[in-house]
Amino acid sequence: MAKISPLQVTPLLPGTNCGECGEETCMAFAVKLLDHVYTVDDCKPLVKEKKYAKKFAKLKEMTTPPIRAVKVGVGERQIVIGGEEVLYRHELTYYSPTAIILSAPDDNLSLIEERAKLVRDLEVYRIGTLLKIQGLAIRSKSNDPATFAKAVKTAIATADIPLILCSTNPAVLKAGANAAKGKNPLLYAATKENFKEVGQIALEHNCGVVVYSMDLNELASLAASLYAAGLEKIALDPGIEPSDGCFADSLDRFMMLRKAAIKGDKNVGWPIVTPIASAWIGKDPNLSEAERIETAFREAEMGATFIARASNMLILHSADSWLLLGLMVLRQGIYSDPRINPSVEAKLYEIGNPNENSPVFMTTNYTMTYFVVKDDLEALKLDAYLLLVDSEGICVESAIAGGQTKAEHVAEAIKESGLENKVKHRIIIIPGLAARISGELEALSNWKVLVGPRDSGGIGAFLKAKWDGKLDQLMQEWKEMQEE
């Protein structure tokens, strides 16, 4: 939709400005439609009234993104993969964050249960957002339909999460799809050998299917064949090999698919699924810890590759928390909207109900810095002042090194904030990463500077050691500073 203008959309809307969508005018709806706030179906008259049928169809086609969106799972945890419109993040933004999927073999029910619980429960709170894992891939190591069905049932009994059912044996996939009736799983994978049978299962259960081939002609043909047969939920796997050189070929196939789709090749205009679990193919189950970590690092690097290139789904073998943390944090960044400024207003913020004896903290106005510090102060149930100094929206370390935040800026901010009328003391706590401006800041501001911890997580311990019950002593030091 990047290249469509609201002027092209408006003639296809009813033009009655009925307001049913919540917007005052059809033009306003058009603008937000192109901004992904609405979908075409949100214009009720267009959907309902027969006279608009042609316009509806045309608008729907016009606004279908080059990478079509596919839903997996049901209910609250349902995910949408795809929907991307651009090759590069800065050209617009990426819309549907890469789904991170854990996996477990069907012959290990306790692991299925453990992983399903992990997917259900894992939450990492970061900068105002909860980071989560999206689903579970059950892989048919047994190649036995009954074993597979049992594993699928175990997962469903444990958690209501999106499932990816993995086998190339249609009998296994059929048993799995039956066990996951009504759960809208994603079938993995249809190949040139099994696509007729697997396609039937997908049609029968109205669920999505991943087509697989390392040959892109064959992959495009598989997708085209299933689409012609009536399937509307398709995803592509061009085969991910982990080893040197082979991984480069895998990334090439991935990028060719994505680029072709963005340029308009409808046959491959589907989400891409990247099972980076392939890093573990051929590994001994009893491999040494060192080798295990080395392989996990390779898997993490493969994961970073595909998140950075907007893959729609990663399927992992590892479930190590350090690895998941890294991938989730990378995803949070890459999928943040580049059109939004990363800074918050540089001013004095109140945490809790501060009074004239409350501590005063200073940091920079980079959004992430602000959220991290604010969350940490609130977690301590502190009453405090937090002074944000304008760093042009970058973090403390870079702002100090880069000169966006100098002692003079902080001194100025203290003056402008009116802090000198709000607190009785003249003590300011600055981030440990801003230590180098402390001397100059004391000279310019006439406040005593306490260098705080490098990380705001250490503020509690810091206050205990340096602040609590020491205000008089600190003010005495401040007075001595005046005399000097």
Which 277-306 residues touch another protein, going by CB under 8 A?
Answer: 277-278, 280-285, 287, 293, 296-298, 300-302, 304-305
Nearest Cα to 301, choosing from 364, 352, 244?
244
Binding mask 419-458 for another protein (x = CB under 8 A): -------------xx-xx--xx-------------xx-x-
Find all residues with CB under 8 Å of 480, minimum gap 6, and list them: none
Please spell the DSSP secondary structure of 69-101, one letter per residue: -EEES-GGG-EEE-----SSGGGS---SPPEEE
CB nearer another protein, residue 203 or residue 474: 203
In angstroms, the CA 80 to CA 349 distance is 37
Q: SS3 of 323, please?
A: helix
Q: How many CB atoms lie within 10 A of CB 104?
A: 25
Binders in 155-174 for another protein, by CB under 8 A: 166-168
Residue 35's identity, in one-letter code, is D
Q: Does 462 bind another protein (CB under 8 A)?
A: no
Per CB under 8 A, which of residues 354..383 are in contact with another protein?
A: 366, 368-369, 372
Q: Could you say which residues in the range 41-60 bind another protein, by CB under 8 A?
A: none
Residue closer to another protein by CB (options 136, 433) is: 433
Helices marked H in 167-273: 170-179, 195-205, 216-228, 246-262
Contact between 377 and 386 under an 8 Å Cβ cutoff? The reply is: yes
Binding span for another protein by CB under 8 A among 4-12, 28-36, 85-93, 471-479: 85-93
Contact range with another protein by CB under 8 A, out of 11-19, 37-45, 63-71, 258-266: 258-266
Check residue 111 for interaction with another protein (CB under 8 A). no
64 binds another protein, rule: CB under 8 A: no
- Does residue number 230 form part of the binding site for another protein (CB under 8 A)? yes
Interface residue with another protein, options 3, 110, 130, 217 (CB under 8 A): 217
* Whether the Cβ atoms of residue 149 and residue 155 lie closer than 8 Å to each other: no
Q: What is the dihedral of CA 105, 109, 111, 113, to 10 degrees?
A: 120
Fill in the per-residue mask, 180 to 199: x = in contact with another protein (CB under 8 A), - = not in contact.
--------xx-x---xx--x
Q: Which is nearer to another protein, 80 or 471 (CB)?
A: 80
224 binds another protein (CB under 8 A): yes
